[in-house]
Structure formats: C-alpha cells, structure tokens
C-alpha cells in the first residue's frame, strides 16, 4: 500500500509542476487533463501527508519515552502516543478506502429507465411511484430531472419511463438501484383484502460522451411518425416523434415527448449511446461479474434487489439484508440510509479484493 502511496505522491508533485508550466497552460486540452488528474489524487495525497505527520509524532513520542528521564515529559509523551496510535489506525483505514479504484462513471449524469414488470395495472402504478421516489431524491440533492420518454397506462400508472437525472455524483449514488423492485400490498381494486405482489425493473445508465461511444450513422435507421397520447397543440398533428433502430444490435429507442423532431432525435440518441455503452461495459466485465455475482452493484437486471412491503411499512434490500421501517419517507425520496449502506458494503467487498 505504501509503495502505491509514494508513487501517487510523486505523481502529484510532477503534475503540480506541469499545471504551472506556461507551455502546458497554452495547450488547454492537455492542461485540463492534468488539472483533472491532479484534483482526483489530491485527497489521497493530503490524507497521506496527514498520516506521515502522525507517524512522525509517534516516533518522536517513542524517542522521548526511551531517552528522557523527566517524568512529567514522559507522561505527556505517553498520553500523546496513545492518542496518535489510535488516530493512525483510522488514517490507515481511510487511505485504504481512498485507494479503491474509482468508477470512472461516478460523477456522470444518469439515464434511468423504469418499466412495469409482473402484476398488470398494479405494476404500472408501482413504476409510477418509483419515478416519484427518484424524482424526489434528485430534488433533495439539488439535481435536475428531465423526462425523455414516457408510456403511461390508462389507470394513472406507467408502462415505461426514461428520465435523465443531471447532477454531480448522480451515478455514484443511484447505480445501486439497478434491478428488480418488488412491491407487496393490497391493491385498491382488491375487494377481498388479499396482498398482491408486483414488480418493476430499474436500469441506471451513465450518460456517455461522444468519444466514449461512437455510432456510425450508416448503422442507424431513423423513422419519424405522429406522436400519440397527451401533448401540446402540435404534438398530434406533426411527425415529431422519432424511432431510432441500431441495426447491428437491434436496439430500438423511441422518443416523442418534445414537439421538435430534432430534440426528440437528440434525446433518443443519448439513450441509445447509454445503452450501447452499458452493453460494452457488461461484455468487458463479464468474467469479473461471474466471479463477484454476490457483490453489491453487480447491476444484474434480473436480480430481485428490494422488497417494499406496505402492510408492515417495511423496505428490505436483499443484497445486504438491510431492513428499514419507514416506507412513507422512503417513497418520498429519503433513501440515503439505504444508499450509504450499499456503498459501505461495496467498499468492504473491494477492500477484501485489494487485500
């Protein structure tokens, strides 16, 4: 670990010189790259410097205990040694966490897809409640949300919705939400008072840049058609809706929420790029995923990750066996307790791998 920390500190010093070099400052793309890298390793270097300062304090206190005959000074050194040794243990753990390889997508915006699963109209209503949950969570974090595509049911539910969530660190907090969400409750239409089980699936994709996923225009078939459903005055009278088919993979994305055909096309391309990137990453990580099937954040779309039990006001995350009893607050976007526990569990698994 300390070889790695020394290497990072040397790299940080080298980058500090480079970002102050006038020639590099004039080359803005290179300068921006170095600035970003410099900022990303600064927290590690700062913590390592703090660690080394505490280590020096321990050595000095030990030296006083060995060499000094002044009892008062020795007592002070003994107390300081105890404090510093306790502190250094915590710093070592913090450094281990800081050295966990960062997910390059953590700071990105999110494209979230929510679909009704098994359970008919009840599943559609649950999908709508999940959309509200994540919209409220975004509001609590100061993130912006934008509906990119929505297909509603006739009873106030949602068959499928694609929403963009824009905000720093959105993916780092929401990526653990991918999977099957299950609800257990008595539907309003159930006269016998029986509990029904329904599901909805959530897919969380990072928004990707053009450089990360390049699409050959010849690989796309773009169809335009008249929008259906509720809309503005011109929505149902012009061919503004767009359907993009990626011919090599067969992926299809439809967007009809905007009055402008161009805006619908831009939104559909964003979703297509995110899906293609997700597929590429899944293929690259197939072997790792096989070896870490039980790990939090595996992102398996078919994995039942959470149960929302209405009669008991209970939410259980099955990956970490955590249950909380505050369903109303949870559905109103108060999910940080669950998210923090998932992040902690994920970090613990990664620390095991590092060691």
| Same domain membership, residue 75 and residue 116 | no
- Inside any domain, residue 291: no
Average pLDDT of every residue of the chain: 84
Residues 137 and 262 grouped into a single domain: no
**Which of 73, 98, 123 corresponds to the end of one domain?**
98
Q: What is the pLDDT of residues 152-163, one digit of tens each?
A: 887 788 999 999
Q: What is the pLDDT of residues 61-76, one digit of tens each?
A: 898 888 888 888 888 9
As a whole number, mean pLDDT of residues 192-221 equals 83
Last residue of a domain, one of 237, 256, 284: 284
Q: Which helix (H) or strand (E) holds 111?
A: strand 110-116
Which SS3 state, helix, strand or coil, does residue 315 take? strand
- My answer on whether 276 and 312 are in the same domain is no
Which domain CATH number covers 244?
A: 3.30.160.20
Give the predicted TM-score (pTM) of the model: 0.69
Same domain, 117 and 197: yes
Q: Are residues 200 and 311 in the same domain?
A: yes
Same domain, 137 and 82: no
CB 143 within 8 A of CB 333: no
Q: What is the CATH number of the domain that holds 189?
A: 3.30.70.1660
Same domain membership, residue 155 and residue 139: yes
Q: Rounded to whole angstroms, how far apart are CA atoms 76 and 251?
A: 70
In degrees and rounded to multiples of 5, residue 190 shows phi and psi of: -90, 110
Q: Which among 49, 72, 98 is the end of a domain?
A: 98
pLDDT, tens only, 273-284: 888 888 877 766
The helix (H) or strand (E) run that includes residue 242 is strand 241-246
Domain that holds residue 158: 110-211+300-354
pLDDT band at 288 (very low <50, low <70, confident <90, very high): very low
- Based on the fold, state whether residues 116 and 184 are members of the same structural domain: yes
């Amino acid at each position: 670990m300390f070889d790695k920390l020394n290497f990072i500190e040397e790299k940080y010093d080298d980058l500090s010189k480079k970002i102050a070099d006038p020639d590099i400052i004039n080359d803005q793309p290179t300068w921006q790259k170095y600035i970003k890298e410099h900022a990303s390793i600064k927290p590690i270097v700062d913590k390592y410097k703090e660690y080394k300062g505490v280590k020096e304090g321990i050595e000095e206190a030990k030296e006083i205990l060995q060499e000094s005959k002044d009892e008062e000074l020795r007592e002070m050194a003994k107390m300081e040694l105890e404090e510093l040794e306790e502190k250094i243990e915590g710093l070592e753990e913090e450094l281990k966490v800081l050295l966990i390889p960062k997910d390059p997508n953590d700071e990105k915006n999110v494209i979230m897809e929510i679909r009704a699963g098994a359970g008919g109209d009840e599943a559609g209503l649950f999908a709508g409640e999940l959309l509200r949950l994540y919209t409220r969570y975004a509001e609590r974090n100061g993130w912006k949300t934008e509906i990119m595509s929505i297909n509603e049911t006739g009873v106030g539910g949602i068959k499928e919705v694609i929403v963009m969530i824009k905000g720093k660190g959105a993916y780092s907090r929401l990526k653990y939400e991918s999977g099957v969400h299950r609800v257990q409750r008595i539907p309003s239409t159930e006269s016998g008072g029986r509990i029904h089980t329904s599901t909805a699936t959530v897919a969380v994709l990072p928004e990707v840049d053009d450089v990360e996923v390049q699409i050959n225009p010849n690989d796309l078939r773009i169809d335009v058609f008249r929008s259906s459903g509720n809309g503005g005055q011109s929505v149902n009278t012009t061919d503004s809706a767009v359907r993009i088919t990626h011919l090599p993979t067969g992926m299809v994305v439809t967007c009809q929420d905007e009055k402008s055909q161009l805006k619908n096309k831009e939104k559909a391309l964003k979703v297509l790029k995110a899906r293609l990137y997700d597929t590429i990453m899944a293929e690259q990580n197939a072997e790792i995923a096989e070896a870490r099937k039980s790990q939090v954040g595996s992102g398996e779309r078919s994995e039942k990750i959470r149960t929302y039990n209405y009669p008991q006001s209970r939410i259980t995350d099955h990956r970490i066996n955590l249950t909380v009893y505050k369903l109303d607050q949870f559905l109103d976007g108060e999910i940080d307790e669950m998210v923090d526990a998932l992040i902690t569990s994920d970090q613990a698994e990664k620390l095991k791998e590092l060691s």
